[in-house]
Chain A
Amino acid sequence: MYEFSYHKPASVADAVKLLSADPEARPISGGMTLLPALKLRLSKPTALVDLSGIAELRGIRRDGGTIVVGALAKHYEVATNADIKAAIPALAWMASTIGDTQVRNRGTMGGSVANNDPSADYPAALLALGATIQTDRRKLSADEFFTGMFSTALDTGELVTAIHIPVPEKAGYAKMKNPASRYSMAGVFVARGPAGVRVAVNGAGANGAFRAPQMEAALQANWSPDAVAGVKMDPAMMNGDIHGSAEYRAHLVTVMAKRAVQNAG
Chain B
Amino acid sequence: MPQVSLTVNGTRHTVEVEARTLLVELLREKLRLTGTHVGCDTSQCGACVIHMGGDSVKACTILAVQCEGASITTIEGLAKPDGTLHPMQEAFREYHALQCGFCTPGMVMSAIDLVNKHPNGLTEQEIREGLEGNLCRCTGYHNIVKAIAAAADVMQGRRSELARAAE
Do B43 and A35 have beta carbons less than 8 Å apart?
A: yes
| Number of residues on chain A facing chain B (CB within 8 A) | 27
Partner-binding segment picked from B8-16, B61-69, B91-99: B61-69
Contact between A100 and B133, CB atoms less than 8 A apart: yes
Within B50-98, the residues touching A (CB, 8 Å) are 55-58, 60-63, 65-66, 68
Q: Report the interface size class on chain B.
A: 20 to 34
CB distance from B21 to the nearest CB of A (A): 9
Asked if B20 and A2 sit within 8 Å, CB to CB, the answer is yes
Bound: A82/B46 CA distance, A: 29
Interface pair B2/A6, CB less than 8 Å apart: yes
Check A39/B66 contact, CB under 8 A, given A101-B56, A102-B49, A102-B58: no
Provide the bound-state CA to CA distance between A106 and B2, in Å. 22
Please indicate the chain A residues that have their CB under 8 angstroms from the CB of B20 in the complex.
1-4, 38
Q: Evaluate contact between B56 and A102: CB separation under 8 angstroms.
A: yes
A5 touches B66 (CB 8 A): no
Most A-side CB within 10 Å, residue of B49, B60, B61, B68? B61
In the complex, the answer to whether B19 meets A100 with C-beta atoms within 8 Å is no
Inter-subunit contact B63/A105 (CB<8 Å): no
B43 and A106 form a contact (CB under 8 A): no
Tell whether A48 pairs with B19 under 8 Å between CB atoms, given A36-B61, A101-B133: yes
Q: Check A31/B61 contact, CB under 8 A, given A100-B133, A102-B46.
A: yes
A residues less than 8 Å from B42 (CB atoms): 36, 39-40
- Could you tell me if B61 and A32 are in contact, using CB atoms closer than 8 angstroms? yes
Give chain B's interface residues, CB within 8 Å of chain A: 2, 18-20, 41-43, 46, 49, 55-58, 60-63, 65-66, 68, 110, 113-114, 130, 132-133
Binding site for B on A (CB under 8 A): 1-6, 8, 28, 31-32, 35-36, 38-40, 48, 50, 52, 76, 99-103, 105-106, 182
